[in-house]
A and B are shown apart, each in its own frame.
Chain A
Amino acid sequence: MNLQKHDSKTEMEMDMTPMIDVVFLLIIFFMVITDLSQQDLEDLQLPMAEHAVPDKPKSDEWRPILNVKHTGVMIQKRTTYFDPELNTGPRKYDELKNQLLAISNRMKKAPFAPGSSTMIPDEPLLIRADESTNFKFVQDIMEQCGDKNISIWKLQLAVSVPEQ
């Protein structure tokens, strides 16, 4: 019975092609995954804060994030809802307002006060504003949040934590 299939003198070479295939596949897979998970986060320079609570979102958790660029452009999930150069006039915040209303409707509700029958959203809206953003724009978002149909009252400001 001859178990030896190869001649011991011939050099054994490994076929590299499947290995390279797998590596490319992994790279593409991770590129797609990271792109999807970063969709909410615009490329911004966040203000520094030393005592911030580290942001550790659960991967399957829904949470509303509104990005505000230094120009005042407001973006949620790659869609622009306000641009100070394009949206002007008294109804300039209509698009943003509709979006906030949609967010507000999706949030968990809690009574306005103990024993009250008025239900208002009980989840925070994460505002990711660039450090140079004029705070007027953030206040404008707050003003829209205060609308009686929206009534989002919990806020979080995204910051960057100094490296240890």
Chain B
Amino acid sequence: MAKRKGSMLADIAGEDCKLEMTPMIDVTFLLLIFFMCTLKFKTLEGKLSAFLPKDVGVNQSEAEPKEKIEIRMDVKNPGNRVRPGAGNVAYTAQDEAERKRYVYDSSRVITFSVGAKKTTDLEEVRKTLTNFYAQDKTRPATIDPRAGIITSDVVELLDVALDVGFTDITFVGSYEK
């Protein structure tokens, strides 16, 4: 029996029958590329946590509320609207009518008021916040964005505040009234 099997294998080997690998490799590459694309897409996003004032109804918390660090954001210079991408191509009325995307150029300046201190430099804000955080690590902070502030301005500030160590960050709204 064993002899019979051996000779059979020898027969097959003698036939010189090769498995066609090309389509297999094609499919494998296809799958590989697909998974590479999707993985990249999913790791791209992150999130920043913040809170809203919890003052629904009567405030029943008995603890003495801590004094909050108020950070107010105002637009000093809105900057120019340009088309996304390189070259600072001006954003036209036509683009606006078509609801195309725009970004602000580097001339945009935001004033940050941390308590009584006003600055347009985010690194200055980082220093001030680091000082406050060193004094009290549980102190809450509030962000108060005023008229004209866009999401990326707020995210920049929130990013700095979270990096310094603040965890209790609340948005307070004057809602541009």
Q: A16 — nearest CB in chain B belongs to which residue?
A: B23
In whole Å, how far is A51's beta carbon from the nearest beta carbon of chain B? 4
A124: Cβ under 8 A from any B Cβ: yes
What residues of A have a CB within 8 angstroms of the CB of B8 in the complex?
3
**How far, in Å, is B33 (CB) from chain A's closest CB?**
11
Q: Which of chain B's residues has its CB closest to A38's CB?
A: B41
- Interchain CB contact (< 8 A) of A160 among B27, B45, B99, B145: B45
Report chain A residues within 8 Å CB of B54.
112, 120, 153
Q: Is B89 in contact with chain A by the CB < 8 A criterion?
A: no
Q: Which residues of B contact A146 (CB under 8 A)?
A: 52-53, 56
In the assembled complex, the Cα of A12 lies from the Cα of B20 at a distance in Å of 10
Q: Is B115 an interface residue (CB 8 A)?
A: no
Which of chain A's residues have a CB closer than 8 A to the CB of B151?
A: 47, 68, 129-133, 135, 138, 157
A145 within 8 A of B: yes
Given contacts A51-B163, A53-B47, A143-B175, whether A71 and B155 have CB atoms under 8 Å apart is no
Chain B interface, DSSP helix/strand/loop, else mixed: mixed
- How far apart are B127's CB and chain A's nearest CB, in angstroms? 17
Q: Are B57 and A159 in contact (CB under 8 A)?
A: no
The reply to whether the CB of A39 lies closer than 8 angstroms to some CB of chain B is no
- List residues of B (24-82) whose CB comes within 8 Å of A's CBs: 26-27, 30-31, 34, 38, 42-54, 56-57, 60-61
The total of chain B residues at the interface (CB under 8 A) is: 55
Q: Is the CB of B173 within 8 A of A113?
A: no
Question: Please, how many angstroms separate the alpha-carbon atoms of A140 and B54 in the complex?
Answer: 16
Q: A23-B30, A131-B151 are in contact. Are A140 and B163 (CB under 8 A)?
A: no
* Whole-angstrom distance between the Cβ of B62 and the nearest chain A Cβ: 9
Interface residues in A1-26 by Cβ distance below 8 A to B read: 3-4, 6, 8, 12, 14, 16, 19, 22-23, 26
Minimum C-beta distance from A97 to chain B (A): 15
The A125-164 residues at the B interface (CB cut-off 8 A) are 126, 129-136, 138-140, 142-143, 145-146, 148, 151-161
B155 touches A49 (CB 8 A): yes
Residues from chain B with a CB closer than 8 A to the CB of A143 are 173, 175
Chain B positions within 8 Å of A, measured between CB atoms, are 8, 11, 14-15, 17, 20, 23, 26-27, 30-31, 34, 38, 42-54, 56-57, 60-61, 84, 99, 101-104, 145, 147-156, 158-159, 162-163, 171, 173, 175-176
A-B contact pairs, 6 of them (CB 8 A): A50-B159, A55-B45, A112-B60, A133-B150, A155-B171, A159-B47
17 additional A-B residue pairs with CB within 8 Å, beyond A6-B15, A145-B52, A154-B49: A23-B30, A48-B155, A54-B43, A55-B47, A70-B102, A112-B56, A112-B57, A113-B61, A132-B102, A134-B149, A136-B147, A139-B171, A139-B175, A142-B52, A156-B48, A157-B48, A158-B45
